[in-house]
Structure 1
Amino acid sequence: MKREEINEKYKWDLSDLYEDDAAWEKEFIQVKELAENFKGLKGTLTKSSDDLLNAIRLQEQISRMLMNVVTYSRLKLDENTKNATYQGLVARSESLMTEIGEMMSFATPEILSIEFSEMLKLLNHDELKLYEKHFENMFRAKPHILTEEVESLLAQTEEMGAAPSNTYGMLLNADMTFEDAIDSEGKAHKLTNGSYVPMLMGNDRILRKDAFNKYYKVYEAHNNTIASLMQAEVKKNIFYSKVRKHPSAREAALFENNIPVSVPDKLIQAVNDNLETFYKYMKLRKRVLGVEELHLYDIYTPIIANVDFEIEYDEAREMVTEALGVLGTEYQDVIKSAFEKSWIDVFETEGKRSGAYSWGTYDSKPYVLLNHKNNLDSMFTLAHELGHSMHSYLTRENQPYVYGNYSIFVAEVASTTNEALLNDYLLKNIKEEDKKKYILNHYLEQFRGTIFRQTMFAEFERDIHKHVETGGALTAEFMNNHYLELNKKYFGPDVVIDDAIKYEWSRIPHMYYNFYVYQYATGFSAAISLASQILSEGKPALDRYLGFLSSGSKDYPINILREAGADMETEHPVSNALKVFKTVVDELDALL
């Protein structure tokens, strides 16, 4: 379907950012001029409180405008990744980021050239007090900040460093094409990155198998190219970690948010220690599907057969809105506004970026990109992305610009809490027993996809970086074989590990997000805990949770999450989530 065929009410409205491309062009020029002005402040930043305040204000103005420029170009390109105009705007905005980063690179080394005690004296000013936490965090990083000359050089490498991810994105979204998948009646179905998983969720096993094989056939054809991009991405991460004097790429990635390495390590260990329960779920799936061999193309399809659970988008939005009423009328009213004021781009169209996300700036709506299908999974995706958007909205409503973003570590908590609350709402309100079984199965699938699957990705990501850091060569063969062995370990004895799955790592865009994936699993675990507290405790837990959503980055993420009621430095949130998984497996097993 072409974009112009979609009703306007199902498209996002980007006018919060710019009315048109001409307005974008005007600000593109302005922000560069402001950066030139900032460059002229070199050598004055710490002379007095007033000089520091003026520099901060100009820096924030540049940052806000630059993020608007970058975000608009990217959102417009994501509407149709084949659009040459917006490919050009994205390339220009990324070059501008690099150029401005270079012009402003003197600032951090100049500030860090003084002692923190001197900085505290400068901050003893009415309009500067709110920046104390910001500068405390900056000085925490002082051992990893380099000379002005080296920082300038590193700023110049940013565009080059983004090349593996950008090239992979273009290959994935614009250049890859797939053969049609054929169902059991000989009917052809258009296979795309967006339609692949919905096909695996279908009841037609012939279609599932054909989609699986034809999908990975294309990734196999591009295996060496994608392996080369992944190798470049890993080496880039290691390069930056070494230059900034971190022990490893993973520790460098975790340092920004002050996350101990023990957190992802505990996650991987806890999941590995509980794989027997996951094996039980796979055995249950094999029994209920009635197959002699359970293949990986049988993993997504619901094990509750012949349940009509088609949910059109307008129905999904009403159910999600109602389910989130437990978070209070103010929260619910903003959700309604999201639908009415065009936050959301709903349907898959030709060339549109695959997947789903929430993204915006401090000055814009927190936009949501979807590729909605009329199924339960898409309804949960809607709730998930609205969780991100509400987190962004409440943060920006309650925090100044300097703390107006939240860290990656907590990014998946709000989204997954929404999913848990939607799950609870459906189980309480749907009367048909088969649909309840279906929802229980869907809940187990959330655990499979978010805790077990993302932890497997995290283990793979950890291992390939370690392999290179210890002198290994990151070849396509190594990654394929290692990923295949991880699948065998995670899925257990009752699943046939189809050889084509060894290419699956190459279809995961998050592998280019620098140790992001483990946070889906930790975030899911925290969300299960927080949702349970909201449902059982009521207002006290809700107040803590809304406080969490409104906190932005005013404190380190571990501390913010602990105040909300989930202490991720302990094993309790992950182990408790895995206990819930075991309970749901046993419950569904008993019903079937």
Structure 2
Amino acid sequence: MSEVTRLPKRSEVPLELTWDLTKIFATDAEFEEAFGQVVKAAEDFEQYKGTLENGAQAFLVALMAMLKLDRQLEVVYVYASMKNDEDTANAKYQALMARVQKLLADVSAKLAWFQPELLALAPEKLASYYQAESRLNAYKTLVNDWTRLRAHVLSEKEEALLAGASDILGASANVFEVLNNADLKFPVVTDGSGSKVELSNGVYGKLLEATERSVRREAFEQLYTVYKQFRHTFAATLSAHVRKHNFSAKLRNYQSAKEASLAQNNIPVAVYDTLVKTVNENLELLHDYVALRKDILRVDELHMYDMYTPLTGEPTLTFTYEQAKKMTLEALSVLGEEYTTYVEKAFAERWIDVVANAGKRSGAYSGGAYDTAPYILLNWQDTLDNLFTLVHEMGHTMHSYYTRTNQPYQYGDYSIFVAEIASTTNENLLTQYLLETQTDPKVRAYVLNHYLDGFKGTVYRQTQFAEFEAWIHEQDASQVPLTADLMSDFYSKLNQRYYGDAVENDPEIAYEWSRIPHFYYNFYVYQYATGFGAASTLAERVLDEEPAHTEAYLNYLKAGSSAAPLEVMKKAGVDMTDSQYLEKAFGIFKERLAELKELLAK
């Protein structure tokens, strides 16, 4: 009998493959000291209540105190969150994260008076403050961003109540995270080499790329057997989250939860709706690609578990992590020596948590605070897809590093809307690098296949998610109960519309909604698709060897939140109020699909 391959314990992972969080807090005692400082600062902040109308100097003092408190809290939160992500089954760090979440709610409640009091100041009075105290001008964009939401801020008492209940209102998302990452038990399945492996969300992604169809089918069916078993629980958590989101939007005088979410980043709803409309107008390209997949795989019936395996057979490109680091530097060298020096710094100073271990949070992300390194979490596998993941997350991390080293704290973060653009630009640069350096037709076909799959997953799939997310919010707003059966039925039909008649409508895919963490992020996913479209234009500009275009791109990385996101992107060379940037992306998809068809025909 084959030995079952199991994930290592956290303590068994080589130190050099883990991130170095001791740079945040070297000991538990240091963390506790910082935690206590946040508690005290939050209590002390009460002294500024009622002072904002006492003149420019008083306003500046209160504003700086609030930002300092926020900065301290950010570091404590990031540390606890990342320690918890290392092993979500570790009771010590579960408890630490719970404490910090409660602290976050407590601090939010103590800060809740600030914005209503700010909005009570007449615009003319605020204008006089800038005249009287020149140092306030450094915060003017921030204050303007807060006051633009004047019509949607509640009274001081109401804001305090909502802030104090944030950890309670966020319980559904927390339950999903624990259930999905720690409590679900998946069966043992067979991989492509015949070995028995313990199924997980991370392992599942790799098994779906297997060339052996039986491996893909078993992984697909076994994974969704688990999610189907708990579909009613997942429906309850998602439904509760949607109700909370709709409740908040209504309370704050928004027309919809979608409008409320996009307003936080100053994005008009038309950007979201234009994406969905434009993608639906280009579904025939996806149907064409799916039909090609069916032909090349030579199957009578194409299933959803056939959508990720390489069309060219066994992957011709695999990379160890060390090889991936080298290729990342080479692919991103077009962005200049300074950029690659920073990437080398990320590798050398252990900003990256590389391999999977038991209990580790699934997937990948780039995180951190203004006063920490911009860390990366990976669950590394030796695949081309994981090379793209590394390059993608490095895009986020470099965006954070450039922003934090070029902007003061008040502008040292960037809108979620522009966040996915830097990461996806990196992916586009890697694709072009591979197409320029790989001459073997089989390798080129594999890279083109990977690009098309990436486009499918980033533009089409994320827009499909965006449609589903909008629909569940609309149903709840119309008083329709979000049951597991209702959501599964709609998702099944939506999936069929996106992928077309060439693929079978597998019953398992109806439950895919239950395992998607981004549905708890409040209209986040559409930004992957808009980001990919913008990145197509930006990558093209970087590669045209016009120094001004690369400089404009780097200036976008440095901008942070010093200007509105659409303004930042327009300066970088992309007008995201127009569908043209999306059409350009579909044009590239069409060209590369044609090239792949030609290569495979030979």
**TM-score scaled to structure 2, two decimals?**
0.97
Match of 1:554 among 562, 565, 579: 562
Among 8, 11, 19, the alignment partner of 1:12 is 19
Instruction: Give the SS at the match of 1:194.
Output: helix
> Which amino acid counterpart does residue 109 of structure 2 have in structure 1?
E
Give the Cα separation in 2 of the matches to 1:392 and 1:351. Answer: 27
Q: Distance in 1 between matches of 2:192 and 2:166?
A: 49
| 2:123 alignment partner, one of 116, 124, 145 | 116
Matches within 5 A, 1:26-105: 26-105=33-112
Q: CA deviation at 1:78?
A: 0.5
Please name the residue that 1:535 is paired with.
Answer: 543
1:171 is matched with which residue? 179
Task: Pick one of 190, 195, 207 that aligns with 1:199.
Answer: 207
The offset of 1:190, in angstroms, is 1.9
Match of 1:264 in 2: 272
- Establish whether residue 133 from structure 1 lines up as the match of residue 141 from structure 2: yes
Which amino acid is 1:134 matched to?
L
- Is 1:491 aligned to 2:499, yes or no? yes
Letter of the structure 2 residue corresponding to residue 88 of structure 1 = A
Distance in 2 (CA, whole Å) between partners of 1:430 and 1:546 is: 28
Indicate if the aligned counterparts of 1:123 and 1:131 stay in contact, CA closer than 8 A. Answer: no
The Cα shift of 1:348 comes to: 0.3
Deviations 1:234-293 (A, max 9, x none): 001001001111111100001111111111111111111111111110111111111111
Q: 1:414 aligns with which of 414, 422, 425?
A: 422
Query: 1:385 offset after TM fit, Å?
Result: 0.3
Q: Which residue matches 1:298?
A: 306
For 1:485, give the aligned amino acid: K
1:473 matched to which residue of 2? 481
Give the CA deviation at 1:188.
2.2
Distance 1:306 1:534 in 2: 33
> What aligned pairs does 1:422-433 form with structure 2 within 5 A after superposition?
422-433=430-441
Question: Within 5 Å, which residues of 2 pair with 1:38-437?
Answer: 38-124=45-131, 125-182=133-190, 187-437=195-445
> What is the aligned partner in structure 1 of residue 4 from structure 2?
none
* Cα deviation 1:397-416 (Å, max 9, x = unaligned): 11111111101101100000
SS of the aligned residue for 1:128 comes to helix
Structure 1 residue identity aligned to 2:273: D
CA–CA separation in structure 2 for the residues paired with 1:575 and 1:581 = 10
- Letter of the 1:92 counterpart: R
Please say if 1:442 is aligned against 2:432: no
Q: Unpaired segments of 5 or more residues in structure 1?
A: none
1:570 is paired with a residue whose SS is coil
- Native 8 Å contact 2:191 2:207 kept in 1: no
Deviates more, 1:512-521 or 1:470-479: 470-479
Instruction: Give the structure 1 partner of residue 470 of structure 2.
Output: 462
Deviations 1:410-458 (A, max 9, x none): 1100000001101111111123221111000000011000000000000
Q: Paired residue for 1:578, among 570, 583, 586?
A: 586
Change (3 A) 1:440 1:18: same
Contact 2:441 2:599 in 1 (8 A): no
Whole-Å separation in 1 of the counterparts to 2:193 and 2:124: 75
1:186 deviates by 5.7
Mapped to 2, the partners of 1:444 and 1:184 lie a distance apart of 24
Deviation at 1:189, TM superposition (A): 2.4
**What is the one-letter code of the residue matched to 2:258?**
R
What amino acid is the match of 1:269?
K
* Displaced runs of 4 or more, over 3 A: 183-187
Distance 2:358 2:155 in 1: 47
Give the distance between the partners of 2:518 and 2:104, measured in 1 at CA. 22
- Per-residue CA distance 1:305-337 (angstroms, 9 max, x = gap): 134322100000100011100000000000000
> SS where residue 53 of structure 2 aligns?
coil
The residue that corresponds to 1:25 in the other structure is: 32
CA contact (8 A) 1:311 1:376 kept: yes
Tell me, yes or no, if the aligned pair for 2:192 and 2:210 is still in contact at 8 Å. no
Task: Classify the secondary structure of the residue corresponding to 2:239.
Answer: helix
**Distance change (3 Å), C-alpha of 1:369 and 1:583:** same
Does the CA contact (< 8 Å) of 1:275 and 1:490 recur in 2? Answer: yes
Q: Is residue 192–residue 211 contact of structure 2 (8 Å, CA) maintained in 1?
A: no
CA-based RMSD of the aligned residues comes to 1.1
**2:156 partner letter:** E
Preserved CA contact (<8 Å) 1:81 1:87: yes
Give the paired residue count.
592
2: CA distance, partners of 1:288 / 1:311: 25
Matches of 2:51 and 2:110, distance apart in 1: 15
More off after superposition, 148-157 vs 447-456: 148-157
Q: Distance in 2 between matches of 1:211 and 1:307?
A: 19
CA contact (8 A) 2:76 2:100 kept: yes
In structure 2, stretches of 5+ residues that fail to align are 1-7
Partner residue of 2:461?
Answer: 453
Cα distance, 1:30 vs. partner?
1.0
Deviation (angstroms), 1:185: 7.6
Three-state SS of the structure 2 residue aligned to 1:291 is coil
**C-alpha deviation, 1:35, in angstroms:** 1.1
Q: Per-residue deviation at 1:183?
A: 5.0
